[in-house]
Structure 1
């Protein structure tokens, strides 16, 4: 954990996931101010739109933060990379595509580079290209997912065994137990998205937050398998529409139109759950409170510490003192 925190200039080993077009400097700055790494996602936004978010972010915090650039969906990739450099963004997170051609550019400007991967093969390539750390994202995660469908539990230890740079676990983590489990698997920190939706600093629609708090263990669903666009969302009326459309053999372009970032904004920001979707990871069923980001981080650190103390005591009492 210390290696990760020193690398990113943060206090706690917690990274905010990129939230694309619904990225908010309000939430991201709260994450950074609480000691984690807040993140602004570029999604399909224009360079000018992202620049406005960065300017607000820099007004709200002087602490480290990241810019997530999803390579395959960013409309002006060159312009977005140049924007990150122009604003001296401390950390760039690259996802949804091959990061190798872009890593040297950011390294030349002394920026830290995170690569989000879902396989050992891709993690190795990112490390060879100069990545500073790997986020291993399991199939439990919200939003766009890898078609490989590896779970966090199986992915993380394999990544740790195959790369020398720090590995951060993403997907299915949102409390002290998940954090402790990720550390046991060899991760040096965790990335969270869904859990941060239900925090006091969250700027998202109350219907989104309510739906998250009401979610059960089966409260999310995968859509898009039939068209090669795997995405995990919360179960809503609009999710039912997506499932029905797939069942009738929807064309990939039509499905993409039904799941574009505008539809996400409609659900997450406007709260129109009949007309737009809301992302949600499998951690949703465990989210039952709305703490501040600082309270969440403190609970996760203290809770994980207590878990390990209890485990050590039980191991000593039950096995090592016989």
Structure 2
């Protein structure tokens, strides 16, 4: 059975598999991104850490680690450097995702420089605004995903088909994506690709501390909390003593729990020093696996499921 996915996402991105790695701060760097690209997907280098000198070094490393396409994310709310667009253009990449901000701000400049631009959206309104701004595609992100969120969260099962019914651009589905079954569901709902975040955090090549990976492996489907409904951005994180204390706190901005302490959790393994940004799909992850195994099994299972459904429900 073929494992290729000839659609607009693979054609635009120049990849074998329409699987994109999420642009997670400090995590989405060369070690992980190159593994994703080498496995046939689209590795992404983050900028949300704000450490642009380090990011430039990570991009340089990519040339030694892969000859496959990779992209860069511009997280507008977290990177306020006025030269960020030129910075990304100068890195020689062809694909960029923009997020956490207004799609009209950078889209035309990036496209004029020849880059393919997808914007991350959590609502139909945001999707229509991004399409009007001229983006090439969308990353449609459901509220079940980890990390920074719209305080008025919408599950991907509702959001994805809604947006797909209103726009003509290709869509990458984000939130709850882990395997061939979730990928097949996303394709059925109108996506042409998927983005994996939490599954990549737990991957063997992920640079985070083993304590975080094992916490994901051991997590139940109810072991995340949604924080900051009273402000923006909202956050979804693993359930820990630190995050539970903030779950129903309508006065404290949970972002303060990330300030200055995130790296103690990410790389030091102190799970209560900060917030472990993680999606609900942690409840479906039961092992740490290499990126190549994750992507290849996801693609093969997706094709198998689609074939089975076609055989069962069509004449």
Q: 1:10 to 1:40 in 2, by over 3 A?
A: same
Q: Distance in 2 between matches of 1:28 and 1:224?
A: 29
Which residue does 2:182 correspond to in 1?
178
Listed as ranges, the matches of 1:68-83 within 5 Å are: 68-76=73-81, 78-83=82-87
Match for 1:85 among 81, 84, 89?
A: 89
Gap change, CA 1:228 and 1:125, over 3 Å in 2: closer
Q: What is the alpha-carbon distance in structure 2 between the residues aligned to residue 171 and residue 140 of structure 1?
A: 5
Q: Deviation of residue 175 (structure 1)?
A: 1.1
1:19 aligns to 2:24 (yes or no): yes
Q: What do residues 188-218 of structure 1 show as CA deviations (whole Å, max 9, x unaligned)?
A: 0101110012222122100000000001110
Partner of 1:259 in structure 2? 258
1:196 has 2:200 as partner: yes
User: Secondary structure of 1:134's partner?
Assistant: strand
Look up the SS of the partner of 1:149 in the other structure: coil
The corresponding residue for 2:300 is 302
- 1:55 maps to 60
Q: Please point out which of 124, 128, 150 is paired with 1:120.
A: 124
Q: Is the 8 A contact 2:172 2:195 kept in 1?
A: yes
Q: How far has the Cα of 1:129 moved from its partner?
A: 1.6
SS at match of 2:72: strand
| Equivalent residue in structure 1 for 2:40, among 35, 39, 57 | 35
| Structure 1 segment 251-290 matched on structure 2, within 5 A | 252=253, 255-260=254-259, 262-290=260-288
1:307 deviates by 1.5
Displacement after TM superposition at 1:42 (Å): 0.5
Indicate yes or no: 2:134 matched with 1:99: no
Secondary structure at the counterpart of residue 237 of structure 2 = strand
Cα distance between partner residues in 1 of 2:14 and 2:54: 26
Query: Is there any run of 5+ residues in structure 1 with no aligned partner, and where?
Result: none
| TM-score when normalising by structure 2 | 0.93
Larger Rg: 1
- RMSD of equivalent CA atoms: 1.6
Higher helix share: 1
Q: Give the Å deviation of 1:118.
A: 1.1
Contact 1:242 1:258 survives alignment (8 Å) = no
